[in-house]
A and B are shown apart, each in its own frame.
Chain A
Amino acid sequence: MKAIIQKDLRENLKVALIGLAIFSFILLQGYQTSTTELGALLAGGMPEDGGSLQPLISPNLLSEAAFFCAVFGAALGFLQTLNEANRDLWAFLIHRPVTRAEIFQGKVTAGMCLYGFGAGLPLLVFVAVVRWPGHIAAPFEWKMVLPLVSIFLSGLGFYFAGLLTGLRRARWYVSRGFGLGLAVFTSVGIFNLTEFWQTLLLTTVVVLILAAAVWGAYQSGGFYHGQPLTGRLAAATAVTAGCGCVLGAGAGLLAGLVFNPLSDHTSAYSYYQMTREGVIYKETYSDNELVAIEDLNGHPLLDPKTGQNMDRVEFNKHVSPSLAVYSRFKYGDQIRGNAQNPGRFFSIVNVRDKTIWYLDRHGELTSYDGRTRKYSGRLAPPGDSSRLLSEPFLFQPNEVPFYYPYADSSWKMMATARAVYRVDFKARDIQPIFNVTNDDEIGAFSSAPFVSDERAPKTFFLTTRKTICLGDATRRSIFSLPYQPGYNDYPRIQFGSIYTTNNTPITTESFYVWFEPDNQMNKLSDWKMPIHILWLGPDQTVTNRTDIPSIPTPDYHAWPDALAAALAPPPAHLVYDNQISSPWSVLCFALAGVSAVIGWLLARRYNFSTGACLGWTLFIFVTGIAGLLGFLCVQDWPAREPCPNCRKLRTVDRENCEHCASPFPPPARTGTEIFEPLVKQS
């Protein structure tokens, strides 16, 4: 095995060197982007995304790294087998006194070393550089390395898929590459799953399946027939995944190019709006075109100037500015995000005197000197002497992903779970301006609601488990309402100001508060949970209240969604039943059933054993049409020819006719045969 490892290392070193050079360039570009972004930020500009400052979690760099690892892994695997694609060289490799499993191990060991050299080494150096103080002016924690580690590991799936592509001897030439489909799932998973262990599990499963398929292919010289059961199962799974990818891409193209242009769009939806006068209207749209603006009694809103139905532009002038927050508690458990979301680690909250202030996912306010790119201290709320650590600030990654330098000031209001603070970045000072009671907790906070008067103190809006409050930086409570109904059923709270028609507020303290039910719960209750609306007068008392019916979210599915639902494996409908409309689910099960029947008939026709017939039928039913295509692609279908005895078609790979059990006839004699028993030479 050592000799094979050495041979393959030497044979493919140039591929790894090319990979090393390309990946180093990509990572260097990511580092350069970080430097450029930092410069722009310090100059008062707006960064493209906060994540680029820390290149480890830059979405662009992660996408490029994922693309590179996929291509490099696949190319390395494919080229490693391409060297021996010539059948005589393959024979030279295989015909030696070692098992094929040892040859597989030798080649894979060499391949993985080369992959580690080409992709892993630049990554290690990159992480070391980023980790070293003075290079990146952004928070670092080891968890930030995990997306890149996931991407690196996903390349191993592509490596094995590349090997499989080079090895498979398929009837349909294109289907040789179908193993890549399974590897694609890991890439999709990296950018959609939220936890590292999930991507690790997915990658491990995919790599194991593809490795088993490659191992099986080595046993049989690339053919399906002759592989051990494990290899056959793995090959069938890999090829079926590839068929699924091709099917999905085909369905998407078909829907996009044929069905969508021909179909009649019915993307109608409605929602409520509050005007500055405090009146509720319902806007209805179809294909993003305004169809109607009606009051709650169904009367259309007329433009007083024209006497005609009011148009969208005009109506928007009447709409009250509003702000919505989503009440959630236990932030730490809810702060999740996929690799595409750098904001799950930190957000930029302020840039002052060449110092960048970050709020990290642990609720810590840390600063980095933009000139030295080194850590320059932290700010924390005044600690309770009984606690070792100060209360963390609430980190809302998905709600405040971007930093807006033009709206920045030297101080901000920030909240922990128990208090709101005035954080002065220039003076590096924190002062409390609002506290909740000991048995309460802040569930949503917004420090920059719309401002009705630029000269008025800055306001904040928050919800706790018990109350909904609007306050300002002078510690004044503008209003406080009981959170009724509760945050479990009604987590989304919207509020806004009410104005007069001449753009002057009736009073800056006239508001409305809107309680919106949880969408999932409302759907489960058949949209029977109403929206509660309160109007608050100048003395902060409730002057009016009403309940309006919820507007169901339409179950609109575009053609690609519908086709995807129909072609998806049936178990997906059991898992995601609430996201897939039922008619397409029925079609999916019907198609899977038909596919399974076709599979059964084919298996019977080609005289599979009863176990194989049942196994394939079940496999196809579970995996749907993709399973049937996988079945067709993966098998080495033998020829069929008429039996001279019974005249029925029989497969040529059996010793006897499956219909009449007669053996194959010997070759017809011509009378010119010359045979003589052979004996050992003396």
Chain B
Amino acid sequence: MSNKARDLCNARVAGRISRREFGKRIAALGIGAAAADGLLQASYTRAMAASFDWMKYKGTTVKLLLNKHPYADAMIADLDAFRTLTGMDVKYDIFPEDVYFDKVTAALSSRSSQYDAFMTGAYQTWQYGPAGWLVDMNEYLHDAEKTAPDYDFEDMLPNLRASDSWSGVPGAPLGGAGAKQWAIPWGFELYSISYNRNIFDRLKITPPENLPDLIEKATKITKDAGGPYGVGVRGSRSWATIHPGFLSGYTNYGAHDFTVADGKLKSAVDSAESKAFHELWVKMIQEAGPKNWATYTWYQVGQDLGAGASGMIYDADILGYFMNGAGNKEAGHIGYAPIAPNPEAKDPTSNIWIWSLALSNFSNAKDAAWYFIQWATSKQHDMFGARKKDLVDPVRASVWADKVFQDRISGSYPGYLETYQATAPDAKIYFTPQPLFFNVTTEWAAALQRMVAKEVAVSEGLDQLAATINRELRDAGIG
């Protein structure tokens, strides 16, 4: 790299010149866009190294446990930058999602030191944290010796920071008093409508604005689109069925999972609001969902949209993004729209899933692993993933504000950014944090399956579900 190009990159990293100015001047030096990006990335790495002793654990190897996901792919693609910055090495095992959390549970419950850090969701930390398997990241975040001065944790979206932070007291709010930072947000997703524009145009319908409207339009697609069914949502007997569009709509109808009184939890799935919402949701699946809905996971919901087998999905915004990319039959035909399911609600209330990085309490290289987590959740890596890879719901406000990222998304995925902006303000975890999360949501999914199959009426099914949940809470001493 010539001195001029290096100075130019340094000036850009220091914020002394604008992106436009940088582009103009680097082009004048005869350096192409791809090469300029590489030079700029190297300058970011040098800038990080200059302000903090990133080489402190040089020669150490960190072992990661990863889930197969585009966010993990983005991180793996940038690992050389970490190696250059720290002199450390990174090894990882990567597993598909349907077995990933079993592997995590097996590794942590056996107190294995095999993995230093791993991917997790916030819900999992409600089990792993109280079990004593995770390190409270506050001890690192508040230690200037261990955390780079430009890390800027506050730059992460507040609801995400809070979502990975909990006191361990069942029912206590996320991010509340005495909360421990069990994990650091890394990439996330929120829930909105992704739809097949061709089908919608052909049937002359617009994206649904609320749940009754969605049912009507999805039913029309099932009847008139000549093959595709109306709306794809998850349905397997798993917690994963409850947390996406389902809980977002449930919350929008004013329903809650629990009431908390005197430190004790009581199921609220039998409330009037819950029953009203369930009636509609069940009707939606019966009239316009996939025939084998009860086996549907994230993969089937996405595949059907990408293959043109469904008219729309009410699921993760990033799932709609991935299905709009190359390799899918409907690539380039997917549109995005926010939804407030309750006709009386003004705004969406999307639940969120946050892929986060957690530090194993059984690691023999905790400090070194924290360096890795710090780098993987830094502005620099978040920016890399957002601009160049598919880390398309980044966790940092500064990355969302980045013009290059915005232009990239707006250019290739029209409507994605606007949908995010309309959905994000109230997007957060709407579950009440408690360690029986997986018991409750798996039972909930099973009950939903019985309602959709007409084995039990909605109202009766929810009364039974509430009784089951309350019994489990009592057995565990929290209800």
A and B interact: no
Residues of B within 8 A of A (CB): none
